[in-house]
Chains A and B, each alone.
Chain A
Amino acid sequence: MRSKAWHLIRLLPVLTIIGLWSGCAEIQQVAEEQARRSGDERLAKIIHGSGTLVSGLLPISYEEEQSIGAAISLQVVARYGGVYDQPDLTRYLNLVGRAVALTCDRPDIPYHFAVLNSDSINAFAAPAGYVFVTRGLLKQIRNEAELAAVLGHEIAHVSQKHILEVVQRSKRLAGVSEAGLAYAHQNPDVFKNLIDAAAKKLLDEGLDQDKELEGDSLGEVFAARVGYDPTAYVTLLTRLRALKGDDRAFFKTHPNFSTRIHAVQQVIQTQGWKPTGVLLENRFARVRGKI
């Protein structure tokens, strides 16, 4: 006579599929408990493993993204001189950033903006909406439209989940089937390795060039949707290129300026946008002295 366990084995793929589509971890747990009650510990482990495997293949949830984003942000802040707390500047940065974020492809999560106390010229984004701009980059910006485009670029990295892709890739390379909160909670070494790998990619090596160019193109679109002059970003990138040329070490985590300028000009041409003169220089000038 066939055992209960045998019936459960036959039902395993069906249970897994039902569990997947209904989003019910309970079904997996019931099957697991049933197998355990029937005395088949091995089957219970297989069912538990199927859930683990499934969860490892699925994307990272927002709650997990928050843990990953906060951990990467700690590295960004620690390596770039800490957060520069100037109340008027912080408020202005958050107002411009949130205005741009309202029009992005993922407007339903909160975005947080901060200034890094560093003279290097750079900006970063971490998962779950953390966006950083260095004082060095802010000193090169001349108006609000330019700032909006820079923030738009970083918001695009969050909305398109570019850094989470790096984490997913690191997870696979590390042979880890799940990089979720639960696993990280029980295996802090694994979580540390994943965050260290993602932070190295973000801060030292830079994201893939196509992701950076996508950030430029989408950032340009987001800022233009708000109503800023679409040519402002080209002006800023051209100014930065004039400062140091196309030396990759200068802006080492991004493609060279000529490539980026070309990508943004392509967007402007495709959309048929013209200069509008909406730069808001005066409003930016009011916080410029506080950078």
Chain B
Amino acid sequence: MGTLSSTRTYWLRISLAVVVFIAFVVVVNVAAHGAFLEPSNLIMVLRQITYNCILGVGQTFVIITAGIDLSVGSLASMTGVIMALFANAVHLHGIALVLATLAVGVAVGALAGYVNALPVVRLNLPPFITTIAMLQMALGLSYIFSHGQPIALRSSAFTNLGIGTLFGSVLGPLHLPSLPVPVIWMIAVLVIASVLLTKTRFGRYVFAIGGNEEAARLAGVNVIRVKTLVYVISGVCAAIVGFLYMALFSSGSPQTGTGDELLESIAAVVVGGTSLMGGRGSIIGTFFGALLIGSLYNAMNLLNIDSYLQKVVLGAVILLAVVLDELRKRYLARSA
């Protein structure tokens, strides 16, 4: 390391999303006469990307093993409904209620992830279809459990988690907006996931399985356990999103999480440089991928771009990002 060629390609090697993002920020900020880089606007972007970003983090683990989890959106919805029902049914208050509810949601999400993984690891079925099956089942169940109606939370213990802010007393005097609580959740998830993926044996095995599953197996890696865990992690991330949505809307609704969340979270992962072929990717990349997509929407709103056109632009950006990433890889392969 530290050779000339490695410094030359350093900026190419780090996640492409970072580079594109910086260029994008400069252009948009000029076009929007500085409104884009207003601290309050940036905080709003962060807040908006929280949900897709957390879904994307779970998805990143799965995609690095060359799998995919298409059930995350409807799992967020189902866990939200279940958590709301639970919170309304138990006689707990305050922080105890919040923690118990979260624990129930996480357990349900983990179980769903386990069910997702079973046919994949035991029968070698493609996750594309097994997680579509879970998508449908979870969606149906959340409508059954909720009778199709949002379930309003009776307790107000969750309100702060959904719309509260923190560190206002510190940031306020500095003329900075205080941090929304969901953003803090996102940061916590990002940090934990990043450590898990880059600093633990489990994380190393995730990459090894995505790079060459047979070589990993012959090296003694418990492939079944690791692959099961990545779907469990994805289910847990979906449950956290279900929890945050529930707190945000003060209700568990079968309709939240079933919109663009799934595809935009996958887009965030891919734009963030994680390969759908497996073996390559990063949590920080997924964050920047989500940030790029969220900023793009925000910027187009600031610039008064028609909302239908926004979709077209978003699609084009996703395509551009993966095409550039492929070209970058070819360039690196040639120069190596």
Same complex: no
